[in-house]
Amino acid sequence: QGQSLQKEVDMLRMTEQQWAEKEVKWTAERKQLKTHVRELQAAAKCEAGRREAAHCDLSSLKAEMQAWQTQERQWEERRRKWKVKKDNLHTLVSSLQSDVGRIVEERNALSREKRSLAEDNAGLQSRVDALQSEMSALQSASAKEAHGLQQRLRETEAALLEEATKASAAQIEVMELTLTG
Model pLDDT, residue 141: 87
CA-wise closest residue to 59 among 44, 75, 49, 46? 44
39 contacts 25 by C-beta, under 8 angstroms:
no
Over 80: is that where the pLDDT of 101 sits? yes
* Cα(117)–Cα(129) distance, integer angstroms: 18
Model pLDDT, residue 77: 93
- Helix or strand holding residue 34 (H, E): helix 2-46
Over 70: is that where the pLDDT of 100 sits? yes
- Give the list of residues 6+ apart from residue 1 with CB closer than 8 angstroms, or none: 96
71 contacts 47 by C-beta, under 8 angstroms:
no
Over 60: is that where the pLDDT of 154 sits? yes
Domains in the chain, number: 1
Identify the domain containing residue 141 by its residue range: 2-180
Mean pLDDT of 100-116: 93
Q: Taking the model in full, what pTM does it have?
A: 0.35
| Residue % of the chain over a pLDDT of 90 | 25
pLDDT digits (tens, 9 = 90+) for 28-62: 998 999 999 888 777 767 765 655 665 777 788 78
Q: State the DSSP code for 48.
A: S
pLDDT digits (tens, 9 = 90+) for 132-142: 998 899 888 88
Q: Considering the chain, what is the average pLDDT of its residues?
A: 85
